Chain A
Amino acid sequence: DAEITQSPRHKITETGRQVTLACHQTWNHNNMFWYRQDLGHGLRLIHYSYGVQDTNKGEVSDGYSVSRSNTEDLPLTLESAASSQTSVYFCASSESTRGLAGGSEQYFGPGTRLTVT
């Protein structure tokens, strides 16, 4: 069955370290997304990609970067981890861009809990 996976599931790192969170999907979806989820907030978009070599900044992109070298993977890198980046990170994918039908369902991974000490 097609799926979307994230690794690691839990990560503890120190302030200033570079950290990369992996996201891999086997849906063959064009669109991939990274969100963070914090207490009292809804999911907030960090970066997204509509296809290979395409990347776009979301609402909270500062301090994060992504690259899309193939359809299956969208790794998220924290260039220099900060305590404010302690959060739960979710990757998602969807098949197509929004159309007249209203939207294209996003499939979410299980999340990565990142703690920056």
Chain B
Amino acid sequence: GESVGLHLPTLSVQEGDNSIINCAYSNSASDYFIWYKQESGKGPQFIIDIRSNMDKRQGQRVTVLLNKTVKHLSLQIAATQPGDSAVYFCAEWPISGGYNKLIFGAGTRLAVHP
């Protein structure tokens, strides 16, 4: 399938545990951030987003935390399931930019073991 995750850092977790995936961003002018999930052989899928005026946002089983001081994002997945196995990557977007300023990270592979 269409996957480029073979040499990415890998986080291995047991089914039912919580997962934390980290992302460092580079541009202090970025004010909007997105997490994506990419399953093997598929295109990226939007999971959750957060604006820079927030430090936490929750979705269904997922939470994104933003620390602007150290330019760090994390994605927390509660009660990780086998279906969560995928590559996860963050994207940053500066307030003054169009889509050509949306910058994607390389990603982290999440492997969920039964």
Q: Which residues of A contact B (CB under 8 A)?
A: 9, 31, 33, 37-45, 48, 56, 58-59, 88, 90, 92, 94, 97-98, 102-103, 105-113
Contacts and interface: CB of A to CB of B under 8 A. Distances in A.
A56 to B, nearest CB: 7
A91 B44 CA distance: 10
Contacts of B46: 105-107
21 contacts: A9-B2, A31-B99, A37-B2, A38-B4, A42-B103, A43-B104, A45-B102, A58-B100, A59-B100, A88-B3, A88-B4, A90-B43, A98-B98, A102-B31, A102-B51, A103-B49, A103-B102, A105-B46, A108-B44, A110-B42, A111-B42
Interface residues on B, range: 20 to 34
A9 B97 CA distance: 31
Interface string B18-39: 0000000000000110100000
Contacts of A111: 2, 41-43
Contacts of B49: 102-103
Interface of B: 2-4, 6-7, 31-32, 34, 41-46, 49, 51, 89, 91, 93, 97-100, 102-107
A92 B43 contact: yes
Given A90-B43, A90-B44, A112-B2, A41 B100 contact: no
